[in-house]
A = this chain, B = another copy of it.
Amino acid sequence: MELNDKQIEILHVAEKLFAEEGFDGVSVREIAKLAHINIAMISYYFGSKEKLLESIVLHRIGGMGLRLENLLNEDKDPISKMDEIIKFYIIQVNANKHIHQIIQNEIANKKREINFESFTELKKNNLKLLESIVKEGQEKGQFKTNINVALLPPMIIGSFLYFNMNKVLYADLFGLKSEEDFENYIKNELTQHIQKTVKALLTYEKY
């Protein structure tokens, strides 16, 4: 689907609003107003409000094509690769906060049947990359063998999402006064904490 400038503008405005107020919490009037377009345009361009949501998802995922593949081929040890991939996960989810918020809401939502297959595919691909890195680490004897790799993304992304959802609480706990402080905490402390946790798990001896 070819999208013109106005259409992309609509997608961006709608994405922000859907993330902030939920699909049902936003009216097409609001979107039209903020995007400076006629109300009828949304139905006209995308068919319906629901199809607009699908377009947002497709548009975003299309732009998320992972450049993770490169990591694999580089000449680094698996632990560095794991650090990189975790950092990448967090940066990516953080950069696409809005669409993640929307998708998580919609997946939980039984009301609409929106096709998130492409998103699932993306997750599966990412999982394969993770698996290959873990495997490499195991072959090199750096990682333990009894690792359930599929449960790593829930830990990585879940930690981030939960941290983010409880922004007010954690900003309070850690004295993060500005948006920038919060972003920096994610970029540094939180990322390192998750990296450390994953490495601990992967190299963990006892029990």
Instruction: Mark interface residues in A105-148 (1 if CB within 8 Å of B CB, else 0).
Output: 10111110000000010011001000000000000000000001
Interface 9-mer from A46-54, A67-75, A193-201: A193-201
- Complex partner residue of A200 from B110, B111, B200, CB under 8 angstroms: B200
| A109: chain B residues within 8 A (beta carbon) | 20-22, 25
B206 touches A203 (CB 8 A): yes
Q: Is A62 an interface residue (CB 8 A)?
A: no
B162 touches A150 (CB 8 A): no
| A159: chain B residues within 8 A (beta carbon) | 151, 154-155, 158-159
Instruction: Mark interface residues in A176-207 (1 if CB within 8 Å of B CB, else 0).
Output: 00000000000001100110110111011011
Distance of A33 from chain B, by nearest CB (Å)? 15
B25 touches A165 (CB 8 A): no
Q: Is A157 an interface residue (CB 8 A)?
A: yes
- Taken together, the copies of this chain in the complex come to 4
Instruction: Mark interface residues in A13-28 (1 if CB within 8 Å of B CB, else 0).
Output: 0000001111111000
Distance of A20 from chain B, by nearest CB (Å)? 5
Q: Is A45 an interface residue (CB 8 A)?
A: no
A207 touches B197 (CB 8 A): no
CA distance A193 to B157 in the complex (A): 16
The 9 A-B pairs with the shortest beta carbon distances in the complex, nearest first, are A158-B158, A158-B162, A24-B24, A200-B204, A200-B200, A24-B25, A154-B162, A158-B159, A154-B163
| A197: chain B residues within 8 A (beta carbon) | 155, 197, 200-201
19 CB < 8 A contacts A-B: A20-B108, A22-B23, A25-B111, A101-B108, A107-B168, A123-B169, A150-B170, A150-B174, A151-B159, A154-B162, A154-B166, A155-B155, A155-B159, A155-B194, A157-B158, A158-B158, A161-B162, A196-B204, A200-B200
Q: Is A88 an interface residue (CB 8 A)?
A: no
Distance of A126 from chain B, by nearest CB (Å)? 11
| A123: chain B residues within 8 A (beta carbon) | 166, 169
